[in-house]
Every structure is written in C-alpha cells, then in structure tokens.
Structure 1
C-alpha cells in the first residue's frame, strides 16, 4: 500500500481545507492567523495553498499569492510564497520540500519571490532562490502637528476594504522600481493580524499607512489615484513634532530626496527567475506575505 505523502492544492472556495490551513498557521507562526482575514472575504482566487494533510489536519504548507509586479516600471505576473513550514512534530521528513516543489511546479517559469526569517536562510537556495538585499529609506524633515487631523480607517468595515481594493487596483503604484499593483488583500492580512500601522484617509482618493515613533514618522504605504503633496499632509498625520521620515517602500515618486538608511534587516528577500534593479530598493511593507 502506497503511504507516500500527497500534496493537496486548494483555493478560495475550499472552505474545509482553508479551515485546516487556518488551524495550522498559528502552530508554527505564533503571531500569525488567517481566520479574521478569511472572515473578511479576503482569500481570493489570487491566493492558493499547498498542504500535506494527515487525517484532515495540515502538517506542512506553502501558500502562493499571484501578484502584478512592477520591476523598473514594467509589469510582470509573479508569485510570492508565504507560510512555508511544517509542524515541529513532522520536521525532518522532507514535507517542506514536497510542498515547495508542488508550489514551484504550479508557478511554471514565472518569477517567484519570498521573505524568509533568519532561521531558514539556507533552505531556499536549494530551490534556486537567490538572496537580494532590501534597503531602508529616510529623510530629514522637521514638522509639527497642524490642521484637521486625518481620519483613521477601519478595515473591519467591508466598504473600507472595497475602497482599499479600488485604490490598490486603479491607483498609482507606490513605487515602480520594485513594487506591485492590486495587493489590497496582502495589506488587509497585515491589518487583520494587527501587524500594520494605522491607515489614514486623506481624501476619497488618497490613504496613507503611517505612525509616529519617537520623533520619526514612519510611512509604510500610500494608496492614491493621483500624485499629491505628501509634505503638505504631514502635519495632519502626526500628533507630536517630528524630525525625520522613514519609508516602508522605495520613495522615488513621493520623496525623491530620501537617502539610503542602511539594509533592511527585517526583510530577508529571496528571488527566483526575477532580475531586479541594481539600484537600491525596498518592496512595500504591506505587500509582503
């Protein structure tokens, strides 16, 4: 009798397998959870998972999100991997290799990338991935609070999620050096898990993910249909004086004078079949899975 592990692929309509995936993730990634994200209806056809099951329970997974990548302004379809893991009780059995290979086979020759954690940096080169440095960007900028404060957005509201989806799909990409269009479901996952900074509404067509820490304003993302004067809005995004701004993306459009602030040591990027710009770049924080 053949007892070799079998990899199962499932997507947005496979609710029973989604539940097994949701049960699995917190057992490996202690702070991550997909339940609220699924309840919001954010698991779309762009997101698929590959799992080894044991009596209906997921014991190893790899998830794949299809993305409209931008590389030096050129749009290409690529795939970002996430939730690559096996249960501690099932490690050393080659199950992670099985689900990785199944996911890679499904992606064909398309570009693939992922963000790893420091404990598994030796794992991904076995599958043809190469490490790629991510850069932090910052700018000196003194400002004090002023004007009517921007209003905070609650993505628990379905209408707000629809608004974010529209801005992400139809608006300006936050960066074209190494960026992405239409990633609202990746952004909502961060929000659903409490990983994202607050999202602020500057108007119907401009939302900003930002928060002050110390004397620095951290701007992690901008969703906008048209360019606008970001500097003019900063007094309405802060609740105390600031001296600098840091960006969670490459700010070539929004703050061309921003300078490199070192390597992003929280973003261990690996790429396969993807030739990125030799210029410094940082993939948007809210688009990482």
Structure 2
C-alpha cells in the first residue's frame, strides 16, 4: 500500500491547516474548524491524513489520540473524523487511501468513529463493526432555582484552560465506555457553535446543558468528583421541566436512569476494542 500522496497535517503546519479548514465545509456543509484552530486547540493529539492536489485538500481522514475509558480502565486509543472526499474527486478511491494511511498510524490500538449515514457500508471494509448507542433519561420534575448557574464562555482562554484542568484531574464521566481528558474535543463543539451552553454548577463542576422542547439535556459533566445532581438541576432551567436526558452513560451520576431507546443519530463503529454487553452511550462531547 502506497501512501506517497498522503500528507500529514499537524499543529506545526499552519498553511496546511488552512487547506484542511477549506476542505472540511466542502464535504461537511455545516462543519468548520477555523475558530478551533484560532483558539490554539489543535495539538499533537490531532493529525489529518490528507491528499492534496494543487495545494488543496481533496480527501482526508483525521486521527484524534484519546484516552478511552472501558470497564473502569484507561485505554489509549484513537478516533477518526473528517473522513471524506470533495464531490468532484469522488469515485477514485482517494478516501480509501487516506483511511489506510490514518489506520496505519494507529497500529494495533483501538479505533472508533461515528459515521455518516450515507457511507455506513464503507467502514466495515476496514475491520470496523457497528456498536448500537442508547438514549438515557429520567422522569423528574425540575423547577427553576433562584440562583441560575453562571454561563462560561469557551472563547475565553482562561475558561478553556479551566475546562482542560477539570478534564485532566477530574473523575471519569462513566466507567462503562467513554472518554477522559477530552476537553479539546468539547471545545471544538463550542468553537463550531454546536455545543450547549457551558454552565458552572459549582466551582469544581461544569456541565454542558440546556433545555430543549421541555427536556433538560445534560451532555457532559466535567467535575472532580461524582455528586448528587438533583439539588443543582434547578440552576439549569428557566421554566419547569419534567424530564432529564443524558448525553453519556449515566450509571455513575444517575444509576436509576432508564434506557429510552436507541440513538438513531449515532452510528458508532469500533475496531480492535472489546466492549461490555449492555446499553451505553459514548459521550456526545467526546465525538469527533
């Protein structure tokens, strides 16, 4: 297998980063990496395996090195993202070449990815197997508190540093199947305007949360320890709600949360990773 056409773009190549940022919206119309790069969030953990033609990225497969959490253990693994090819160059196997180069860089380590529904048959060719994702929630009457939780802006470098500190030193979100130290992935969602507001429940606990259609959604919790969320939820709502949903497997934070069904919008594929039986949800703020 030849990867002579593949260029590895990392944090030390700003001009190539610009070419990568130009490529992304041509394949994923609503996705943008520019602000994330301006924030300095692209580190050595993220590498783009790109095919360039006339200085433009025409196909790509990116690799994010991650600390996965699997059955109470930290596991070094990788997550793929931004896999694709610009429309005018499709049908020539370019995405396959980029994928092969990206996977070769991962060696024998576990690899996961979230797929676009239009290419679900593409990833099994590389040894990936689908993994169902569940939705978790609980019926609960939550009324507004007199003291709303402050909103933190990740455009502020000190807030980003604070999130990284909580991610590095904090408690795992889930022990079943999740991620640790994923603050720079969460910051991408904020930079791209895809994240729910970041709220400060207490000094050592920040959450991505908001109310949508009368439901309180908790997408992620960055905290130094697990604690009872119930007394704090009123700080996250402006009007009463009757249900809470979790963007992760909530067995540590809410053991009696129930499975609401399958997450049809999350097409997860895994390679080289043995996972526990039973329902889980890989944290939405840790997906690339």
TM-score range, shorter-chain basis?
over 0.9
Q: 2:82 aligns to what?
A: 83
Q: 1:188 aligns to what?
A: 187
After superposition, give the CA deviation of every residue in 1:245-282 in whole Å (9 maximum; x if it has no partner).
Answer: 00000000110010001011111000000111112100
Q: 2:93 aligns to what?
A: 94
Paired with 2:225 and 2:172, the residues of 1 have a C-alpha distance of: 10
Q: 1:258 aligns to what?
A: 257
User: RMSD of the alignment, in Å?
Assistant: 1.0
Aligned residues: 286
Which segment drifts farther, 140-149 or 123-132? Answer: 140-149
Paired with 2:213 and 2:265, the residues of 1 have a C-alpha distance of: 20
Alignment of 1:153-232 (within 5 A): 153-232=152-231
After superposition, give the CA deviation of every residue in 1:38-60 in whole Å (9 maximum; x if it has no partner).
Answer: 00000011000100000111000
Q: 2:56 aligns to what?
A: 57
Paired with 1:14 and 1:166, the residues of 2 have a C-alpha distance of: 26
Paired with 2:201 and 2:142, the residues of 1 have a C-alpha distance of: 17
Which segment drifts farther, 76-85 or 210-219? Answer: 210-219
> Unpaired runs of 5+ in structure 2?
none
Shift of 1:82: 0.2
After superposition, give the CA deviation of every residue in 1:116-158 in whole Å (9 maximum; x if it has no partner).
Answer: 0110100000101000000110101012102310000100000
After superposition, give the CA deviation of every residue in 1:161-203 in whole Å (9 maximum; x if it has no partner).
Answer: 0000011111012111111111011000011111111110122
> Unpaired runs of 5+ in structure 1?
none
Do residues 270 (structure 1) and 269 (structure 2) align? Answer: yes
SS in 1 for 2:220: strand
Taking structure 1 as the reference length, the TM-score comes to 0.97
Q: 2:105 aligns to what?
A: 106
SS in 2 for 1:266: coil
Taking structure 2 as the reference length, the TM-score comes to 0.98
Do residues 141 (structure 1) and 136 (structure 2) align? Answer: no
Paired with 1:156 and 1:141, the residues of 2 have a C-alpha distance of: 33
Paired with 1:165 and 1:129, the residues of 2 have a C-alpha distance of: 30
Paired with 2:12 and 2:201, the residues of 1 have a C-alpha distance of: 35
Aligned structure 1 segments of 4 or more residues deviating by more than 6 angstroms: none
Paired with 2:78 and 2:199, the residues of 1 have a C-alpha distance of: 28
Alignment of 1:36-51 (within 5 A): 36-51=35-50
Shift of 1:219: 0.5
Paired with 2:214 and 2:19, the residues of 1 have a C-alpha distance of: 43
Paired with 1:132 and 1:147, the residues of 2 have a C-alpha distance of: 42
Shift of 1:5: 6.4
Shift of 1:35: 0.3
Paired with 1:80 and 1:204, the residues of 2 have a C-alpha distance of: 30
Shift of 1:214: 2.5
Paired with 2:143 and 2:278, the residues of 1 have a C-alpha distance of: 33
Shift of 1:288: 0.3
Paired with 1:245 and 1:221, the residues of 2 have a C-alpha distance of: 13
Paired with 1:76 and 1:90, the residues of 2 have a C-alpha distance of: 36
